[in-house]
Amino acid sequence: MISVLVTGANGQLGQCLKDVALNHKDIEWVFKTSKELDITDPKSIQTLFDQKNFDYLVNCAAYTAVDKAESEKEKTFLVNAEAVKYLAETCNANNAVFIHISTDFVFDGSKNTAYQEGDKTNPINVYGASKLKGEQYIQEILDKYFIIRTSWVYSEHGHNFVKTMLRLGKERNEISVVSDQIGSPTYAKDLALLLAEIIESQTTAFGLYNYSNEGAISWYDFAKAIFEQSNLDLKVSKTTTENYPTPAKRPSYSLLDKSKIKKALKLEIPNWKDSLDKVLIKISE
């Protein structure tokens, strides 16, 4: 039986992976929250591996507060880079495959076509820089790894853009959303299904991959779709990033090209609208 350790079990992706694990009973899943496993402590990671010989380590743990990261640089790099190094070293010492989640924020957004895995990285905020450093550690230490760069993650779990919009839709009659940042949302459950597929197939197509749902939209388009698909009647107007300043800069264009992962794993990736429908049904239940 394949045995898998999952860190960050309380996050959106961790919780979606728990949901997906119910249909993958041929895999032995061990889920650890940040309280149960401190990934910034190399000893605690190795202790777990001493107790059990894991075949895979899926790292869903991360410091994801993008704006707060600007003032908490040390903490951000500790979780997103140094801890990732410890996890990679432990995988290396124990011959385990490392699956790590990264971000579109490793790019600066200056392109106007979808980013491919080999494109030049140039993060414009602390969060993106810390995630890039984590990627680099993995590539230096390991041969057997999957780094999955994703974007705009949301789900029925935790805090995210969809849930914020639904809340605001009930509280307000009008809302402004930025229309000059382009990318693609990712339903965390679609990503979790991909991770389960990588593990179950035991593919050796190791490397760096992009994954998000299909389609290119702005945050404004996404908000409009959330309200329309939820039958919430409020006015959504466009605004610019300049009119909505945040501590961390965001890439204006961070669409990810998924052709590499589709080819390697013979994947069909759902369109963002179809996945949004699924989430809205889950939330309404």
What residue ranges do the domains of the chain occupy? 2-159+185-215+254-271
The letter for the amino acid at 108 is: D
Tell me: pLDDT of 8 over 90: yes
272, 214 in Cβ contact below 8 A?
A: yes
**pLDDT confidence of residue 250:** 95
The per-residue pLDDT for range 170-184, each reduced to its tens digit, is 899 999 999 999 999
Q: Say whether 127 is catalytic.
A: yes
pLDDT interval class at 220 (50, 70, 90): very high
Specify whether the backbone of 8 is left (phi greater than 0), alpha (psi in -120 to 50) or beta: left
In this structure, the number of other CB atoms found within 10 A of the CB of residue 25 comes to 9
Distance CA 181, CA 186 (A): 15
d(CA 176, CA 239) in angstroms, rounded, equals 6
> What is the pLDDT of the chain when averaged over all its residues?
96
Q: What is the pLDDT of residue 257?
A: 98
* Beta strand 217-218 pairing with 182-183: antiparallel
| Integer Cα distance of 10 and 61 in angstroms | 9
Say what the pLDDT of residue 264 is: 95
**How far apart (Å, rounded) are the C-alpha atoms in residues 11 and 248?**
22
What's the rounded Cα separation, in Å, for the pair 59 and 14?
Answer: 9
CB count, 10 Å around CB of 170? Answer: 9
Q: State CA 185 to chain mean position distance.
A: 10
Q: What percent of the chain is modeled with pLDDT above 90?
A: 95
pLDDT attached to residue 44 = 93
Task: Give the pLDDT of residue 124.
Answer: 97
Whether residue 285 is predicted with pLDDT greater than 90 in this model: the reply is no
Q: Is 211's pLDDT higher than 90?
A: yes
Distance, in Å, from the CA atom of 237 to the CA atom of 179, rounded to the nearest integer, reads 9
Rounded to two decimals, what is the model's pTM?
A: 0.96
CATH code of domain 2-159+185-215+254-271: 3.40.50.720
What tokens were used for 199?
């593990």
Q: Which residues pair with 5 in a beta bridge?
A: 30, 57
Average pLDDT score over residue span 209-237: 95
In which band, very low, low, confident or very high, does the pLDDT at 235 lie, cut at 50, 70 and 90?
very high
Q: What is the mean pLDDT of residues 80-107?
A: 98
pLDDT in tens, 35-80: 999 999 999 999 999 999 999 999 999 999 999 999 999 999 999 9
Among the listed residues 115, 127, 220, 253, the single catalytic one is 127
Q: What is the pLDDT of residue 137?
A: 98
DSSP code at position 69: H
pLDDT in tens, 111-121: 989 999 999 99
Distance CA 267, CA 247 (A): 37
pLDDT attached to residue 280: 96
**For the chain, how long is the longest CA-to-CA vector?**
56
* Residue 5 predicted with pLDDT over 90: yes
Distance between alpha carbon 222 and the CA centroid of its chain, in Å?
Answer: 18
- Identify the bridge partners of residue 100 per DSSP, sorted by sequence position: 59, 147
pLDDT at 244: 86
Tell me which residue of 104, 8, 125 sits closest to 62, measured CA to CA: 8
Q: Can you give the pLDDT at residue 49?
A: 94
CA 197 to chain centre: 16
Handedness of CA 160, 103, 56, 141 (dihedral sign): negative
Using an 8 Å Cβ cutoff, are 256 and 114 in contact?
yes
- pLDDT for the residue 97: 98
The predicted-structure confidence for 261-279, as pLDDT tens digits, reads as follows 999 999 999 999 999 999 9
Give residue 75's pLDDT. 98
